[in-house]
Homo-oligomer: A and B are copies of this chain.
Amino acid sequence: MNVGSDRTEERLLSFESICREHGLSITPQRVAIYKELVSSPDHPSAISIFNKVREYYSNISLDTVNRTLLTFQKIGLAKVVESSGDPKRFDPNLEPHHHFRCISCGEIIDFRDEFYDALEIPAEIKEKFVVLEKKVHLEGFCDQCRAT
Nearest CB of chain B from residue A140's CB, rounded to whole Å: 4
How many copies the complex holds: the figure is: 2
Tell me the A114-148 residues at the B interface (CB within 8 Å).
115-116, 119-122, 124-125, 128-143, 146
B136 touches A134 (CB 8 A): yes
Task: Point out the residue from B84, B111, B125, B134 that lies within 8 Å of A81, measured CB to CB.
Answer: B84
- Complex interface: chain B residues within 8 A of A15 (CB): none
A111 touches B84 (CB 8 A): no
A82 part of interface (Cβ distance < 8 Å) = yes
- Complex interface: chain B residues within 8 A of A121 (CB): 138
B82 touches A100 (CB 8 A): no
B125 touches A132 (CB 8 A): no
Task: Point out the residue from B124, B130, B131, B141 that lies within 8 Å of A129, measured CB to CB.
Answer: B141
**In the bound complex, CA of A101 to CA of B116 (Å):** 18
Task: Point out the residue from B128, B131, B141, B146 that lies within 8 Å of A139, measured CB to CB.
Answer: B131
A103 part of interface (Cβ distance < 8 Å) = yes
B84 touches A100 (CB 8 A): no
Nearest CB of chain B from residue A105's CB, rounded to whole Å: 12
Residue ID in chain B nearest A142 by CB atoms: B129
- Complex interface: chain B residues within 8 A of A52 (CB): none
B140 touches A132 (CB 8 A): yes
**In the bound complex, CA of A80 to CA of B139 (Å):** 12
* A interface residues (Cβ-Cβ under 8 A, vs B): 80-84, 88, 100-103, 109, 111, 113, 115-116, 119-122, 124-125, 128-143, 146
